[in-house]
Chains A and B, each alone.
Chain A
Amino acid sequence: MARTFLSRRTMLRGVTGGATVGLALPLLDAMLDGNGARADGLHDGPIFGLFYWANGMPWHAGHGALQASTGQPDLWTPAATGPGYAPSELLTPLVAHQPTVATGLTPHTEVPQTPPGQEDGHMRGFMVALTGDRIRPEGFDHPSHTLTALRPSLDQFVAKHPEFYGNDLPRFRSLVVGASPARFHDYGHWNAISYNGPDSLNQPILDPAQLYDLLFAVPQDLPTVARRAALLDAVIEDADGLKQRLGMVDRIRVDEHLAHLDEIQRRLELTSAPCLGPSQPADTPDLLVKTQIMGNLLGVALGCGLTRVFSFMLTSPASTHVFSNLGVANDMHSTCHAGEWQQVRDVTHYHMQAFALLLDELAAGVDPTGTSLMDRAVVFGTSEYGEGWQHSVAEMPALLVGGGGGALQRGVHVRDPGGNFSKVHVTLLRALGLDTPSFGFNGGETSDALPGFLV
């Protein structure tokens, strides 16, 4: 046959006449120094992490009149602003990592009147915090809590931003992981926080063994792997005729599926040397232990350059996780609704302890130049709304942790009551070196970074 199904891609990475040629250089040899650490420190480029926890924080007067009527104190907002602020009670677990914190921020996106229910924090606050936009207003159905995003979440926005990786793509554009398996619903954003776009979610890996295998159990039979990679050309070609016969939405779904095949093909072609991993860990129901395990695997993966972007869903939106270890009898979502302020305080504190453990893992690995992953990282910590009793989107939490390769100021508190939440997005995108004239959509646009956050 004259035509070859391999014509779609260059031949050199595939198979010619049964011989394997031109596989990528072994990663470890190429990138690590003799001590197993990356030799070039900050020049490795910034790391972006997204850390998400459910149900905001305990409510206080800043969240609204009803919340004020309970007389509960604000345990989140530090008393002082500026650099070197003294941490609040709930930020204390993070103190070793000198988080930079913005308080008072809230969504500025428009809220369409119909269909009703779009102002709910679970919907609006979540989507603004994660994507900078409102929920997709058409197709929203409040009674079944069905909704989707208009655009990618920040982790995917960064991972696919042309300036972020440029031509130097790592093995994974991003890793999407999580800890608690409890779900309010088994669909949509209740299930996952990482969006590629409308109805296109990345469900988090929750099983440490699965994450371990994905990262470290790399097949070593190179000729076979090369044939697997080459085969994908035929799969992609096989779908071409189908696409022409589909409606627009389904064509986009299939196109995205095929684009993933390109990515998988690229990864198979990179298969030549494993990143040295720890031993395969077991799962655990303890969220702190599990966060540590997942954080350790992420740290190794980031350290040997398997990716530079991750998201970590500690608990899912409106989480129904039962914190019986904290003496909380009902599930978290019900506990918020029942107005159990002290229990919500305890759970929020626990969430921050977990966040600290993740950051500890990333800070632990230091290369010979004294640079840690946290020095290179911008880790964005946020939740779905300000508080879960009334779902207020006032005073939404926003933390930026890490040095951002020298671009992010550590340990600063800026207070901006009623300020546009997307200022955080502008700040973190600029800290990552991405040209960001403005960010935020549908009324949420802003060109302002938070003052004093960027070096």
Chain B
Amino acid sequence: MTRSGLEVLIAVAAAVALAACQQDGAHASAGDDGGDTAQTQGDGDGGPDTDDDPTGAGADDAIPGPRVLPRLTAVQYRNSLVALLGPDLPPTPVEPDTNPYLFFTIGASTTTLSELGTSQYEEAADRVTHAVFDDPTRRAALVGCEPGLPGDSCVAQFLASFGRRAYRRPLTATEHARWLEVSAQLADPDAWEGVRLAVAGMLQSPHFLYRVELGTPDPEDPTRLRYTGYEMASRLSFLLWDVMPDDALFAAADRGDLDDTAGIRTEAERMLADERARATVQSFFAQYLDLGRIEGATRDPVAYPLFTLTMPDSMRAEVELLVDDVVFREHGDVRSIFSTRRTFVNDELAALYGIDAPGASPITFVPVELPEDGPRMGLLTLGAFLTMNAKQTQTSPTARGKYIRERVLCQTVPPPPPEVNTELDAPSGEGETMREKLAEHRLNPACTGCHQFIDPPGLLFESFDAAGVFRELENGVPVDSSGDLDGIPLADARGLAELLRDDPRVGRCMVTQLFRHAQGRLDTPDEAPTIDDLDARFVAADHRFLDLLVELATHEGFRTALAQEAP
């Protein structure tokens, strides 16, 4: 930019307070009314309380957050259709999920379904019921008896059992009567058509499409609602398997097992031991780590010959395999994803990293230990992070630093002040390094407050270019990859990995994000004790992620809701 431009900018900046940028902790929101209160919390440096009873329900001083009404995510909807009707269903396109605050569940509980989305549900219900009921074998398997007359006992019994599964609770007498009446009135040309339409109707009911978890007044505490056994079955199932409850969960709810901690723990542990939990854990990590942003990343093939069209998928798969390894095979400290030298590469990632990976092919990922004397160590030195936080043609220490602050440490980076040029690294000099361009962030008083917070950890990755390839020179100049985190000087990304290994903010951030994902909303300020307590349990469990899921599933903060409407 020109000199005069900078002068204008500094004049504007003079009016801007040079407040410290760092905002630890998470902003919180009052859930379902959209009221959103930015706030600053302590960062938990002193460590959370650990004196709670590690087996009890915990966090008695916490006030639960409000209820929400999430619509099923696209995956939950499809999985539930298959659970109800069996496999081999025709495609059922639905309104795409959205992910405000990173999580699809938050989008599902805040957005309103569009007219097109509603009509997609209508068409899907028609299509899948035809697929099942037009086939005598399939419909017999589903219904289990042969309807004779419209609305007969076969139909009545089936609708009660199907309805209980679709609504995730027994139908009320009114509801049962309604669908029975539909099946009779629309039994044209025969009783089967009536049954089909009753099923199609239930599949369009808000009781199926939304997670109606309203709770009942807690007899011991009138300020709280307590989720019923059936509601807990749904909460566990959608959290741990992304699908409606299975028969065992329904049976547990019938028996009242899900009204107490031990019963919930038993079910949660059963579900986490099942293969289906792996996909949901992957889904959480992909959202928490914002991996969706790698999709469709492209690089100029001349400038970045190693970055193929399939590279974004390879980079994403690498992170998934690493997470799966730590969570489900090693049962290790999940924070180690940020510092381990272990990773999983296919042939093109091995080439990108310049390492040997015997047995790797385009579709075969093999485990490798990154070399001790090499530059890579942990997730933040792998392709996905490095690429999705860079531009097509250059690195972005600001984007990389912002990711570390927001995603890894759950800190809040405020917006740039008004009327300030937010991109000072416009093409200017030849041979200038990114570090030199970014110096303007630190010279300009309007920028320095925040960029001293964001840029120094991001500069640690300057030895990796915009495609994640290691480099020793940038524009012919040796790369300087030094930086710092909160004033602790570091030589490069490996130093940061070592530091994050024991940083208490990393685990607490995971707890916070998992809590938001599980609740389908941001945490409220009143829920800080719940998050503290979960963090303490996470620490006590040596940061094993599956243990955290069990602690969350059994926690009072997950089993209760605020009795009155949020203000």
Chain B residues within 8 Å of A69, by CB: 1-2, 4-5, 8
Chain B residues within 8 Å of A120, by CB: 415, 418
Chain A residues within 8 Å of B126, by CB: 228
**A29 interface contact, C-beta 8 A:** no
Alpha-carbon gap, A203 to B118, bound state (A): 12
The minimal Cβ–Cβ distance linking A74 to chain B, given in whole angstroms, is: 18
Alpha-carbon gap, A253 to B174, bound state (A): 24
Chain A residues within 8 Å of B115, by CB: 202, 260, 263-264
**A455 interface contact, C-beta 8 A:** no
Known contacts: A140-B36, A230-B186, A234-B201. The answer to whether A338 contacts B427 by CB under 8 A is yes
**Dominant secondary structure at the A interface:** mixed
**A119 interface contact, C-beta 8 A:** yes
A138 touches B69 (CB 8 A): no
> Which B residue's beta carbon lies closest to that of A229?
B122
The minimal Cβ–Cβ distance linking A297 to chain B, given in whole angstroms, is: 15
**A248 interface contact, C-beta 8 A:** yes
Q: Mark B5-43, 1 if CB is under 8 A from A, else 0.
A: 100110000000000000000010100111110100000
A250 touches B32 (CB 8 A): yes
Contact of A257 among B2, B35, B112 (CB under 8 A): B112
Contact of B188 among A223, A250, A252 (CB under 8 A): A223
> Which A residue's beta carbon lies closest to that of B32?
A249
Alpha-carbon gap, A144 to B110, bound state (A): 15
A247 touches B175 (CB 8 A): no
A264 touches B565 (CB 8 A): no
Size category, A interface: 35 or more
**B197 interface contact, C-beta 8 A:** yes
The minimal Cβ–Cβ distance linking A135 to chain B, given in whole angstroms, is: 12
Chain B residues within 8 Å of A163, by CB: none
Query: Could you tell me which residues of chain B, from 507 to 556, have a CB within 8 Å of some CB in chain A?
Result: none
Alpha-carbon gap, A120 to B414, bound state (A): 13
A6 touches B185 (CB 8 A): yes
**B50 interface contact, C-beta 8 A:** no
A5 touches B393 (CB 8 A): no
A248 touches B112 (CB 8 A): no
**B206 interface contact, C-beta 8 A:** yes
Size category, B interface: 35 or more
**B255 interface contact, C-beta 8 A:** no
> Which B residue's beta carbon lies closest to that of A115?
B38
Chain B residues within 8 Å of A144, by CB: 100-102
B178 touches A143 (CB 8 A): no
Query: Could you tell me which residues of chain A, from 1 to 30, have a CB within 8 Å of some CB in chain B?
Result: 1, 4-6, 15, 18
**B406 interface contact, C-beta 8 A:** yes
Alpha-carbon gap, A139 to B566, bound state (A): 14
A188 touches B100 (CB 8 A): yes
Chain A interface residues toward B at CB < 8 A:
1, 4-6, 15, 18, 64-66, 69-70, 115-117, 119-120, 136, 138-144, 146, 148, 176, 182, 185-188, 191, 196-203, 205, 210, 214, 223, 227-228, 230-232, 234-235, 237-239, 241-242, 245-250, 252-254, 256-258, 260-261, 263-264, 267, 322, 324, 329-331, 334, 337-340, 389-390
Known: A70-B2, A253-B112, A260-B113. 14 other contacts (CB 8 A): A1-B177, A18-B189, A119-B418, A120-B418, A136-B34, A200-B112, A201-B111, A202-B115, A214-B116, A228-B200, A232-B204, A234-B179, A256-B113, A339-B1
3 shortest interchain CB distances as A-B pairs: A117-B415, A200-B112, A260-B118
